[in-house]
Amino acid sequence: MLFGLDGVEIGLIIVFFCLFGGILSGFPVAFAIGGAGIISFGIIAALDSAGLLIHQAIDTSSQAYRDLVNSGVKPDTVSVFRFPDLPRIAEPVFVQGWETALDRNLSFIVNRMNERVLAGQSIETLLAVLMFVLMGITLERSKIANDLLTTMARVFGPLPGGLAVSIVVVGAFLAASTGIVGATVVTMGLLALPTMLRNNYSPELATGVIAASGTLGQIIPPSIVIVLLGTLAGDLYSTAQETRAQDAGCTDALTYLGEPAVVSVGTLFQAALLPGIMLALLYALYAFGYALLNPEKAPAVPMSGGSGEPITRSEGLTWLLGAPVALIFGAVLLGSSGVIGSQNINVSAFSDIGAGASLRTNVSEQCKVSMIELHGQSAWDQAVSEQETIDAAGGVANAERLSEEALVEAREAKIAAAAPIGTGVAVIVVLLGLTLVMGRGIAPSKPTQPLILGAIGLLLMLLVDVLLIAPTTSSGLTFVLLALPFALAMYGCKEAAARCATNDLIRVVFPPLVLIIAVLGSILGGVTNPTPAAALGAGGAIMLAAYRKLQDQERSGKVIIWATFAVIIALLMGVNFDLRINQSNVNFETWVAFIIAYGAYLYALFGLLFGCWVLFTSGVLTPVVRETAKVTSMVFTILIGSQLLNLVVISFGGEHYIQQFLRSFDNEFTVFLIVMLVLFILGFVLDFLEIIYIVIPIVGPVIYGGSFDPKWVTIMVAVNLQTSFLTPPFGFALFYLRGVAPKEVTTGHIYRGIIPFVIIQVVGIAILWFFPSIVTIVPDLIPN
């Protein structure tokens, strides 16, 4: 053997050095990966043909191997790592010759490009990458970070380390709105770093907090890393669990696990929410603690400027804290007591399908033993008891069409159980009420009459809903009855909104916050999947950027505002009316609602096109589209190149060799710890895209093929990959910051400043390791 190493090990080393050399060459990474695959395959093929690469494989014809298999050990678990004493035979790494491996690679790369890039099941999810990139770049070009940094500095500046804390807050906010690490780090480096240095902040703390906060976009949803990881994780988890189920003697994963083996990008967004917030809090706590221990290196900096009238502490506590909390808490209390709730009285024409047993019990004896080992004897006994009860009742009840009497009875039961106040009305009242109390708190010296009239309108809406609107009232009549009190409430809210607009914090934060809530809320709430939500975010970002551009040009932004209201009107029409006009019977009010909704849609489309025209004429849209095309093309080119490199690794047995090594450990935690350490080390020299598309497909069948929750596994990997942006010498965030840092800030300052935040990342991973419920609690609470 060459250098005393197995031929497969030498092949893996050659692949790594070719990849590393291609990246260091300065050639574009997207093309360097594919080139590394071609070059490494050529080198390995030449060495194999010369007889220099010898693989020591287990001799499956030996008596020792047959005795081992006859003892009950599964053949696919036998490896040189687990059973090093078994007889071996020497064979080339390309058993059938490199020519056959080349032919297979060429055919496989075409199939993989078709499955994973062009027309596979994941292509719809990958389109979200394009939309989120467009959303992020558009918001970045709209100068949202400039206003956020200035405003947050005024809020947190007077605190010890306040400027550093404001950087973390802005970084988290931009992570949820743009998610573009390079743009965030560069923007905060240009705007905040000189200010922090002028105010005697430590260069290490200033550079460290800017670089670390800029990477929060890789974990706080909507995150491109999670989108890319999620498309892989779904396939890897499903395939690995099917293999695990068959090894256990069961027919499929659904039988063995008792639930479908699926994980979606939307679910991963839910899982990433709390870990992202946790990391931001750890960053802020470190900055605050550093300032307390070293006050001269992170002093409090009162910032001048701002607008709006002064607010006393009592007024602020009453109207900006107490009243909003009381309003929200009261709504929640009324909801839990049944006063607020659904007024939907639609009933299905068919009866419900009977529930099956919690586990399938009609399985083979081997599968039964495996299921008892996985779920426990009590869970199996409960499933058997449930199945016996179902069998005694004649089997699982099928859905049957209900009689007219049964339909009437079911409808009357729903009418009797309907809440006095509908959920929709309650939500509108709470939102408008928050607007009123915020307006009162922002400008306490201004007349309160308009706000009082608005509050009366809200009370009238509730009274009308309780006294005049029954569950059987049509949607059209409901709108008519609520029109007058709603108009009165809007009169007060218009005045309150005008007062809120005078406050810098609300004026700067509110518009992008609404966009974030719309995008993330639709995903986290299970309303839609990430791709339509990303399209909504891209459209909203274009309109928001156009509005800001019109304001800068001192032009009216009413078209954008009315287009936003048109979207809301269209949504209200769609929620409250059945707009399927191809039905046999369509009443008059449905036709009216359809026309209103269609008109609102056309105006919203006009507003979007108008926003595009504003950005185009302002010279903003063209660079945004160009940059979006560059980033998206890079991602998809890396995806194609990584598939080629993966096939090279598979062709000489590298993937199987690595998986055998990992499976030689009996403890799942040990295996996952090794993988996490390898990913952390690779993060020093490789970008997150290379790790996702090259390393994860190799180790994925092992880490997703065990008993770990796939959401926890994926988020742990995502946090680890976020660290790759911070680890020298090739951390991308460090390069971005070095490029815009003043001359007095050295590379040593940046490297020393980032070390505490890398340690915080490791601490964050450790917290998630020992408390996995931080990842799983949100998906468990939100139905999917």
Provide the pLDDT for residue 182.
72
The answer to whether the beta carbons of residues 640 and 117 sit under 8 Å apart is yes
Provide the pLDDT for residue 669.
93
pTM for the predicted model, two decimal places: 0.86
Helices vs strands, H then E, count in the chain: 33, 4
Provide the pLDDT for residue 696.
92
Q: Which amino acid is at 564?
A: T
Burial pattern 697-720, b for ≥16 Cβ within 10 A else e, equals: bbbbbbbbbbebbbbbbbbbbbbb
Q: How many CA atoms lie within 13 A of 768 on its CB side?
A: 30
Question: Distances from the Cα of 108 to the Cαs of 126, 233, 334, 489, in angstroms?
Answer: 21, 20, 59, 63
The answer to whether the beta carbons of residues 649 and 673 sit under 8 Å apart is no
Residue 540: closest CA among 563, 522, 521 = 563
- How many Å apart are CA 68 and CA 75, to the nearest integer? 9
- Sequence ranges of the domains in the chain: 144-306+679-757
- Cross-strand pairs, 421: 340
Decide: helix, strand or coil at residue 649.
helix
Provide the pLDDT for residue 638.
81
Cα dihedral 732, 736, 742, 745, rounded to 10, equals: -10
- How many Å apart are CA 76 and CA 70, to the nearest integer? 13
Provide the pLDDT for residue 178.
66
The answer to whether the beta carbons of residues 464 and 489 sit under 8 Å apart is no
Q: Which amino acid is at 91?
A: E
Checking DSSP bridges between strand 340-341 and strand 421-422, what pairing results, if any?
Answer: parallel
Provide the 8-state DSSP code for 353: P
Which secondary structure element, helix H or strand E, spans residue 276, and what is its range? Answer: helix 265-293
The answer to whether the beta carbons of residues 298 and 202 sit under 8 Å apart is yes
Residue 260: closest CA among 240, 243, 238 = 238
Residue 618: closest CA among 673, 687, 545, 678 = 545
Decide: helix, strand or coil at residue 95.
coil
Provide the 8-state DSSP code for 402: P
Alpha helices (H) in 652-746, listed in sequence order = 654-663, 668-682, 688-690, 696-703, 710-723, 732-740
Distance of CA 175 to the CA centre of its chain: 11
Q: What is the separation, in whole angstroms, between the first and last Cα of the chain? A: 53
Provide the 8-state DSSP code for 120: S
Burial pattern 367-381, b for ≥16 Cβ within 10 A else e, equals: bbebbeebbeeeebe
- Cross-strand pairs, 54: 92
Burial pattern 611-639, b for ≥16 Cβ within 10 A else e, equals: bbebbeebebbeebbebbeebbeebbbbb
Question: Distances from the Cα of 347 to the Cαs of 342, 382, 587, 761, in angstroms?
Answer: 13, 32, 20, 51
Provide the 8-state DSSP code for 297: T
The answer to whether the beta carbons of residues 380 and 372 sit under 8 Å apart is yes
The string of DSSP letters for 413-476 reads HHHHH--SEEHHHHHHHHHHHHHHHHHHHH-TTS--HHHHHHHHHHHHHHHHHHHT--TTS-HH
- How many Å apart are CA 454 and CA 460, to the nearest integer? 10
126: left (phi over 0), alpha (psi -120 to 50) or beta: alpha
- How many Å apart are CA 535 and CA 108, to the nearest integer? 32
- How many Å apart are CA 256 and CA 553, to the nearest integer? 63
Distance of CA 683 to the CA centre of its chain: 21
Decide: helix, strand or coil at residue 57.
strand
- How many Å apart are CA 775 and CA 778, to the nearest integer? 7
Q: Give average pLDDT by consecutive 10-residue segment, the chain, 784 residues.
A: 78 90 78 88 90 86 87 81 87 83 73 60 72 84 78 82 88 77 79 86 92 88 85 90 91 90 89 93 93 89 65 79 90 89 77 75 91 92 89 72 79 85 90 91 87 93 91 87 92 90 81 84 77 88 90 88 91 81 77 91 94 92 90 82 85 89 90 93 82 90 92 94 83 81 86 92 95 93 72
